[in-house]
Structure 1
């Protein structure tokens, strides 16, 4: 059995990380040792975990993929880097010879397979050091902020998701488990001791009570609008007041939901 390629995934989009994990799952020699949602955390994990391979998103707010690489200049143990980017072909020409490979978003399975082959070859032929040296030379010659500025950014506090709330829901159905990202949920309504999770045209059934569900969801995003309904505020397209004191919300999907008078304070979220 071939040696494991210890791999770190870096992207500020949780869905992008999850998608890449799914696509990498069939590769038995790829061992995902961690993921980072921002550049500062990426630098920390690269130094601590010392991965063999990093899939590095370029376009991250504040501290992008290039800044991550610049901040690692001088490190003795550097990973192989595969850029993941939404840049167009013209922009890619500036650096594609300086990284082992690059993948365009959305990542295609065929291109990912090609990249993994290149990683294996690079490790087998001990080309990783040479490739990294070329990349560092490129970044060092770019018009970049001084090392002191990079250090200040690395040490600055970073805003992270509140880990008290679930990023996804696991729906069990006849031995199968469906993982539903909460960001994709339109609304949730109660049917006795069951929750109906509405995602687009699909409805998932979860055995749970309303109070339990409320505790699992970030109240900045999910709000109760009726004694039996929770709505994802980010999915609301239109607010329509009614003369009797009630209000109706139209979601991006076209679904219309009623806000009862008992929960009318939720309307302040839209003002």
Structure 2
């Protein structure tokens, strides 16, 4: 087992132990063996209760006579059995995707501009030193809540924090963040004028894609952030953000170039800046997506009348 896989496994073990689940360890695996050694010892009374013998009285079969057999109804003709498709118990169940529009109704009372900053801070305090999902045990250093203007008209939503973000506690501050800053500047805005958040607020190990249990656990807080900020436009950066915001898994090619809806805002989908760093040829396509946003917001690129 690699170091990364062992770290992830330990994270899930610690997470499940916090939930009170202990009896899922396998023998032969050193990680499970160590976790099993740390498992609380059952009390003497519980052990004695478990070892009690349960005696079941035998059931005597009924005696059939010739007269009683005459009254036994003949069985109906068998009908063809419907084939069953069985799923192995070890196969994980894939959670159903639910769009942010369907997760909760829109709030009836909206926050006034002056109250939005305090409302967002209340959400941050509620999150606290979060241990609601396995990411809390996977080497996280800081929770990355969000950054930007609570009254922003434009909101960007990415996938999750990277190493730089995990160290500083702010979203998009590494190389991908520098590119996002350039994209925002090209739109005629400053970073301080937009609001930036992620699907998950803790860094997944080795920057992997967040697991459904992690993304779904964190969604409640991102949804409330969106409801407080009330942006006019949301830009989903990459497939992970688009998948959870819209509640469906679809290629970026099928999602880009058209408007979607999310919590009362218009939503556009484009490439994640980290992907654009790996494939700069797609920067032109991303710029087309941003131009669509600029047109909707009445923005013009710097230097253009």
TM-score with structure 1 setting the length: 0.28
Query: More relative contact order in 1 or in 2 (CA 8 Å, sep 6+)?
Result: 2
More helix by share: 2
TM-score with structure 2 setting the length: 0.25
Of structures 1 and 2, the larger Rg is shown by 2
